[in-house]
Structure 1
Amino acid sequence: MRPLDGPASTGALRIEKVEGKAALERFIRVPWRLFKDDPHWVPPLLIERRGHLDPKQNPYFDHARISMWLACRGDVTVGRISAQIDQNYLAHHNDQTGQFGFMDAEDDPETWKALTETAEEWLRDNGIKRVVGPFSLSINDEAGLLVDGFDSPPFVMMGHAHRYYQPRLEEQGYRQVQDLIAYGYDPQKPLEKSVDNLLKRLMRDPE
């Protein structure tokens, strides 16, 4: 949450607004470059990501305004961010809060500063006084920032991050406000006897 009061590539940094299918595809594919050497990253399904950001397929767009940006150095895309204003959220909470999401970028303070300030400016220009996140796009989707457990793959509806994400966001004035916990299960371990008995009963009589 934040009140609204050494680069991996070379070249001058510029921020581009996502407009059109080609730019949206670049936006979707940013993690493929940033996490290509991370053995714990699980690439999302491209067809699912495209549908998630398609106003014709995702009903979230019926009650929210969204803007997205790319950070570029030369012809290399080095980061991305989105900003959202959810009218359903505002109608319920009435607290002039917007959200940011899809925050992925190279490990460079300039890039993180430019992306977050661009999203904050858009929110501020649209009457928002406070920003929380990351939500990609809402709390019902991928929410929160990974701050522990980098040696494990993300589970369903969980995002992934590099260790530098947290300090880079904190440098921009963001602070943690809530813990989100994920539970893992090792399928190689034997089931508890009570669970095993329940599964056997269900298999015998699924009705």
Structure 2
Amino acid sequence: MADQLRLIEVLTPKQRQAFVELQFTIYADDPDWRAPLKSEMRELIDGAKTNPWFEHAEAAFWMVYRGDTAVGRISAQVDQLVLQYMGAGTGHWGMFECIDDQAVADLLLSTAENWLRARGMTRAQGPFSLSIWDEPGVMVAGFGTPPTVMMAHHRSWYSKLIEARGYVGIKDMHTWEVQITHPFPDTVQRIVAMGEKNPRIRIREVVKKDFANEAALILDILNDAWSTNWGFVPLTPHEVAHVGKKLKPIVYEDMIRIAELDGVPVAFMISLPDLNELMGDLNGKLFPFGWAKLLWRLRKPKVNRIRVPLMGVRKSLQGTRMASMVAFVLIEYIRRAARDVYGAKRGEIGWILEDNGPMRSIAEVIGAEITRTYRVYEKPLSAEVH
């Protein structure tokens, strides 16, 4: 019953730890869930000292208990960059985890909505956990397989609970998967061959020792390449430095490549071995022994899948034949390294916005198929609090 529910705002370190731990309860019987590192989750929500996103945004966090048992959690956030790039009055919520109980979901969502409304927001969008660059959307299709590294996984009832609160889906994002043990179709191979012979094009590996500068270069291209995409907000210089520092331990130089045209960097592709395959037995903990295990496994990882989380071509080049050539050469070089060095058999590209025609076309041409769908929801916020 709803009157048995108890809502608390997450304010103390102990409460933040409980907020993180709830996921491990919600997914305890889900064989496809992959536990995140608890330390990473704490850093995400602990404020500006561990997450520079808080330099331009504010957030609040809540948990719902039934008796002494935690049964749900949520965040609400107002991001000044979202207001600038996605429109005035746009508030977000996220970090949503909930048992299959509409009363719990209603209490969580209404609390987030009221918080947003009190800050002048006129519409609520979610989930964003915490931003478009973290884990956007709730999984609505593709259940039955585990996610790759840095991709979200949700319980199948979440969309039902959200929609019952009056939310309507406004944008879908897909992950695409392709086999990479064999060459791509002949059409792609011909384009790659032309690109390899073109003296104007140079594809280079990143330099891990200089990864702070490499990350800044890549994310400068990214901010330009994605600037017209739905949901885009730029990464700030502090966020760029933060991302570079976090990625460096899992950087493999042959899996992250930069394309130069006439000596000018114009495109990039980041790919990662599926580290979820290497962390399944750590249960989110690096200590006392998880850190040593992970470091050993990261030395020369062998995985079944790789993931391409980010790829971009500068806007000035988009829509040209040269852009397609550069993109396919990047993809082919990553495919070879993933197969030959890391033993991967499958590659996942994503997420890709449902209306991102150029990226969808690339995925289709190389034979990729949609495997998962994530949905962002929206609801107008009326003036009254309820």
Using the size of structure 2 for normalisation, the TM-score is 0.47
Residue 122, structure 1, aligned to residue 115, structure 2: yes
Q: Hey, what's the Cα distance between the residues in 2 that align with 1:52 and 1:93? A: 22
Residue 83, structure 1, aligned to residue 76, structure 2: yes
Residue 198 (structure 1) shift? 4.9
Post-superposition Cα deviations, 1:51-99, rounded to whole Å, max 9, x if no partner, equal 1112201100001010000010111100000000001221334421100
Residue 14 (structure 1) shift? 1.1
> Identity, % of aligned pairs?
37
TM alignment of 1:36-185, pairs within 5 A: 36-55=28-47, 56-184=49-177
Residue 16, structure 1, aligned to residue 8, structure 2: yes
Q: Hey, what's the Cα distance between the residues in 2 that align with 1:42 and 1:198? A: 27
Letter in 2 for 1:175: V
Structure 2's unaligned 5+ residue stretches are 190-331, 342-386
* Cα distance change of structure 1 residues 39 and 11 upon mapping to structure 2, 3 Å threshold: farther
Post-superposition Cα deviations, 1:148-205, rounded to whole Å, max 9, x if no partner, equal 111111223321111111111000011111110112356xx623276489549x98xx
* Cα distance change of structure 1 residues 70 and 192 upon mapping to structure 2, 3 Å threshold: same
Structure 1's unaligned 5+ residue stretches are 1-6
* Cα distance change of structure 1 residues 47 and 167 upon mapping to structure 2, 3 Å threshold: same
Matched residue SS, 1:176: strand
Post-superposition Cα deviations, 1:26-72, rounded to whole Å, max 9, x if no partner, equal 11111100101100000001111111112201100001010000010
Using the size of structure 1 for normalisation, the TM-score is 0.85
Post-superposition Cα deviations, 1:71-129, rounded to whole Å, max 9, x if no partner, equal 10111100000000001221334421100001110101100000000000000011111
Superposition RMSD in Å:
2.3
Are the aligned partners of 1:99 and 1:133 in contact in 2 as well (CA < 8 Å)? yes
Letter in 1 for 2:16: L
* Cα distance change of structure 1 residues 191 and 69 upon mapping to structure 2, 3 Å threshold: same
Which residue in the other structure is 1:26 paired with?
A: 18
Q: Hey, what's the Cα distance between the residues in 2 that align with 1:165 and 1:19? A: 25
- Structure showing the higher helix proportion among its residues: 2
Matched residue SS, 1:140: coil
Which residue in the other structure is 1:4 paired with?
A: none
Q: Hey, what's the Cα distance between the residues in 2 that align with 1:78 and 1:185? A: 37
* Cα distance change of structure 1 residues 40 and 87 upon mapping to structure 2, 3 Å threshold: same
Which shows bigger deviation, 147-156 or 71-80? Answer: 147-156
Residue 11 (structure 1) shift? 8.0
Q: Hey, what's the Cα distance between the residues in 2 that align with 1:90 and 1:11? A: 36
- Which one has the largest radius of gyration? 2
* Cα distance change of structure 1 residues 185 and 49 upon mapping to structure 2, 3 Å threshold: farther
Letter in 2 for 1:49: M
Q: Hey, what's the Cα distance between the residues in 2 that align with 1:150 and 1:12? A: 32
* Cα distance change of structure 1 residues 92 and 68 upon mapping to structure 2, 3 Å threshold: same
Which residue in the other structure is 2:310 paired with?
A: none
* Cα distance change of structure 1 residues 24 and 190 upon mapping to structure 2, 3 Å threshold: same
